[in-house]
Amino acid sequence: MMGVEGMRNSTRARVAACCLLAATTFLVIMLMAGPVASLTTASMTTAGTTRLQLVASGGGEVVPPDGDYLSPAQRAEIEAMLAANIGMLTAAGTLTQPRATEQIALDWPLAARDGFTDPGYHAITGFVDHTPDIPNKLTDYACGGRTYSGHKGTDIFMWPFAWNKMAAGDVTIAAAADGVIVGRRDGNPDQSCNFNSNSWNAVYVRHADGSIAWYGHMKRGSLTTRGVGSMVSAGEYLGLVGSSGNSTGPHLHFELHDYQGQLLDPYIGSCNPLEGGSWWASQPNYYDSAINKLMTGTGPVSWKACPLPDDTNEAIQFQPGDRITFSTYYRDQLNTLPSLYRIRGPNGAIFAQWSQTIKPAHYALSQWWWSYDFPASVMTGTWRFEVEFNGRTYSHTFYVGEPATPTPTPIPTATATPFPDDYPRNYLPGVMRPSAP
């Protein structure tokens, strides 16, 4: 029989085992709970005795609206204008007969302005619809559903802060291939927030093989000074991204037609098996997963109604004792691609680290933020916010200490055309959908 002392020792052992099991179970649950719970791990690896305190977090999917629509009457007007101009330029000898057998290769039709430092600026919000005549069926070039009914082009949306980017002229439209301008239109209002009957601002370029690229929804007054009949080279400036015409927010509508005027989708895929291969010199992945922006600020972004620029609350200069918000803006975020976040101090030590994997299969646009309190004792100097995502490490630099803090980045002043009195303004350019990661 076990003595009294033996029974006491056995009881102590069982209590210790139960406590160890409970602690282990709690740690596993916390590690599985997502980015907020990951602070437990971050606190265990905090540099020295200084801890950053997570006080709030949020974010989720941002759902863009259907981007645009050209009515049959608008298309007929554009096609008649192009036919007339091509006839005139051919008669003048400016255009030669198209070499239809020599398929061109398209470069990307957008570029960031000089001095733009964010790692990205766009996301695809709509490909060409390959089943426009079948009700309630959407089919893009890869047999997915990333399009909307009857869409005839590729919509490249500005992300994040589309109206800020438009006001600042952050993203330029560039010729995707050498060619001749065969049409252009400017002077139309460029702050459209919903579907309407307005005409867009656009440039049309014919290439050596007779194909014609349409660049639509440009910012008013931004078009190249080159006129109809002028040569342009691949990569040459054509204008700025805007929201003119029948549009719901700043984006480029890129549309391609062959020498016979038939619609072309430049992307090759299982539902668009192009005989000559992709028209892109380097076709982007169907899910072009990347981070467009890392940001620090004085608080989460304040999203404004279309067409007002968003209040980003962006800042890079802080003082010990400040609350700092860390934000990440994704395009094509997938649940197969985890993110690992780190906040590094001036000495390279990791002061906070956490991870995130979303639950839904795909977000075309998404944003996430975390607010940390920096204690008064935190070291001063140059800090870094880092994210590992899809095989790349993104880094954003911010500063703690002198000079005095912080001044949020000024919001760009809109420079586009004023609205007519009866122009609708109550449409939001995107719907923020808070989501559990």
Considering the domain architecture, whether residues 134 and 81 belong to the same structural domain is answered as: yes
Q: Is a pLDDT exceeding 50 seen at residue 430?
A: no
Output the pLDDT for position 412: 60
> In 189-316, which ranges are continuous DSSP H helix?
none
Nearest in space to 409 (alpha carbons), one of 333, 327, 353: 327
Output the pLDDT for position 49: 55
> Is residue 278, in this structure, part of any structural domain at all?
no
Considering the domain architecture, whether residues 178 and 313 belong to the same structural domain is answered as: no
Q: Is a pLDDT exceeding 70 seen at residue 350?
A: yes
Q: Which residues contact 306 (CB under 8 A, 6 or more apart)?
A: 163, 193, 248, 249, 425, 427, 428, 429
We report the CATH number of the domain holding residue 257 as 2.70.70.10
Give the whole-angstrom CA distance, residue 159 versus residue 245.
20
> Is residue 25, in this structure, part of any structural domain at all?
no
Q: What is the mean predicted confidence (pLDDT) over 88-113? A: 94
Count helices and strands in the chain by DSSP H and E runs: 4, 21
Considering the domain architecture, whether residues 242 and 296 belong to the same structural domain is answered as: no
Output the pLDDT for position 263: 97
Task: Give the 3-state DSSP-derived string for 48-99, with helices as H, strands as E and coil as C.
Answer: CCCCCEEEEEEEEEEECCCCECCCHHHHHHHHHHHHHHHHHHHHCCCCCCCC
Q: Is a pLDDT exceeding 70 seen at residue 158?
A: yes
Quick one: what percent of the chain has pLDDT higher than 90? Answer: 75
Q: Residues 183, 81: contact at Cβ < 8 Å? A: yes
Considering the domain architecture, whether residues 233 and 329 belong to the same structural domain is answered as: no
Q: Using pLDDT thresholds of 50, 70 and 90, give the confidence band for residue 411.
A: low
Considering the domain architecture, whether residues 57 and 76 belong to the same structural domain is answered as: no
Residue 164's Cβ-count burial label (10 Å; 0-12, 13-18, 19+) is buried
Q: 264, 298, 315 — which closes off a domain?
A: 264
Considering the domain architecture, whether residues 189 and 139 belong to the same structural domain is answered as: yes
Q: Residues 213, 177: contact at Cβ < 8 Å? A: yes
> Is residue 230, in this structure, part of any structural domain at all?
yes
We report the CATH number of the domain holding residue 403 as 2.60.40.1930
> Is residue 338, in this structure, part of any structural domain at all?
yes
Q: Is a pLDDT exceeding 70 seen at residue 429?
A: no
Q: Residues 244, 193: contact at Cβ < 8 Å? A: no
- For residue 98 the two structure tokens come to 């198209």
Each residue's pLDDT tens digit, 5-56: 444 444 444 434 444 334 433 333 333 333 333 333 333 334 555 789 999 9
Considering the domain architecture, whether residues 214 and 351 belong to the same structural domain is answered as: no
> Is residue 300, in this structure, part of any structural domain at all?
yes
Output the pLDDT for position 100: 78
> Is residue 274, in this structure, part of any structural domain at all?
no
Give the whole-angstrom CA distance, residue 339 versus residue 349.
19
Considering the domain architecture, whether residues 118 and 219 belong to the same structural domain is answered as: yes
Q: Residues 237, 255: contact at Cβ < 8 Å? A: no
- For residue 22 the two structure tokens come to 């409970």
Considering the domain architecture, whether residues 308 and 240 belong to the same structural domain is answered as: no
Considering the domain architecture, whether residues 91 and 155 belong to the same structural domain is answered as: yes
Output the pLDDT for position 45: 39
Angstrom CA distances, 370 to 51, 269, 365, 410, stand at 15, 38, 18, 22
For residue 160, the surrounding DSSP H or E stretch is: none
Q: 247, 264, 281 — which closes off a domain?
A: 264
- The overall average pLDDT reported for the chain is 86
Output the pLDDT for position 196: 87
Q: Residues 179, 213: contact at Cβ < 8 Å? A: yes
> Is residue 427, in this structure, part of any structural domain at all?
yes
Considering the domain architecture, whether residues 43 and 145 belong to the same structural domain is answered as: no
Pairing of strands 122-126, 154-158: antiparallel
**Largest alpha-carbon pair distance within the chain?**
114
Considering the domain architecture, whether residues 98 and 124 belong to the same structural domain is answered as: yes
Output the pLDDT for position 101: 83
Number of folded domains in the chain?
2
Q: Using pLDDT thresholds of 50, 70 and 90, give the confidence band for residue 2.
A: very low
Supply angle C-alpha 241, 121, 182, rounded to 5. 30
Range of the domain at 48: 34-63+289-434
Secondary structure class of 241 (helix, strand, coil): strand
Q: Using pLDDT thresholds of 50, 70 and 90, give the confidence band for residue 68.
A: confident
> Is residue 12, in this structure, part of any structural domain at all?
no
More confident: 321 or 41: 321
Of 58-72, 73-87, 395-409, highest mean pLDDT = 73-87
